[in-house]
């Protein structure tokens, strides 16, 4: 008989997808080949249904890790939306999608201050190298300095 829910460890692994290097394709158990998409909308929908059944928060109501199940449930929804976006099937809600922000906008949540500056400097250098405007990065830099004025001491 197949396992009907995820273990606490499995839930935590999924929640920490960035640290573990788990892509949306890997969450859905698709090959990770950017050059050739080996899945279609129907496969995404079918796999999504299988995944959310296993992590539905109601199944964890008698455990202490129901909040983890809720987070994984949300991550699977985000991954589905991102995979559909890649297929050019939908743009709905993509601007707030965590995977879109991470892979396309390079917005990395929960970073240390040092990581934020490093990321900002790298993006600024890339734009400058391509003779593109860095105005947005300068505003972001000013905002970081304003947020952390002790850095100027």
What residue ranges of the chain have pLDDT lower than 70?
A: 1-3, 32-36, 89-90, 104-112, 115-116, 119, 151-153
CA distance 22 to 31: 12
Contact 45, 98 (CB under 8 A): no
The predicted structure's pLDDT at residue 1? 46
CA distance 138 to 151: 16
Model pTM score: 0.64
Contact 79, 102 (CB under 8 A): no
The predicted structure's pLDDT at residue 20? 77
Residues 67-111: tens digit of each pLDDT: 999 999 999 999 999 888 888 766 777 777 778 777 766 655 555
């Amino acid at each position: 008989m197949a396992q009907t829910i995820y273990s606490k460890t499995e839930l935590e692994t999924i929640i920490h997808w960035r640290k573990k290097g788990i892509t949306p394709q890997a969450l859905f158990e698709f090959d990770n080949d950017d050059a050739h998409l080996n899945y279609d909308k129907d496969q995404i929908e079918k796999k999504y249904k299988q995944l959310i059944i296993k992590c539905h928060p109601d199944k964890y109501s008698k455990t202490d890790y129901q909040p983890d199940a809720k987070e994984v449930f949300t991550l699977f929804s985000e991954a589905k939306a991102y995979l559909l976006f890649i297929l050019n099937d939908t743009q709905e809600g993509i601007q707030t999608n965590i995977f879109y922000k991470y892979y396309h906008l390079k917005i990395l949540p929960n970073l240390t201050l040092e990581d934020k500056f490093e990321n900002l400097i790298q993006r600024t250098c890339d734009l400058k190298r391509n003779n593109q405007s860095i105005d947005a990065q300068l505003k972001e830099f000013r905002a970081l300095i304003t947020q952390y004025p002790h850095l100027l001491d």
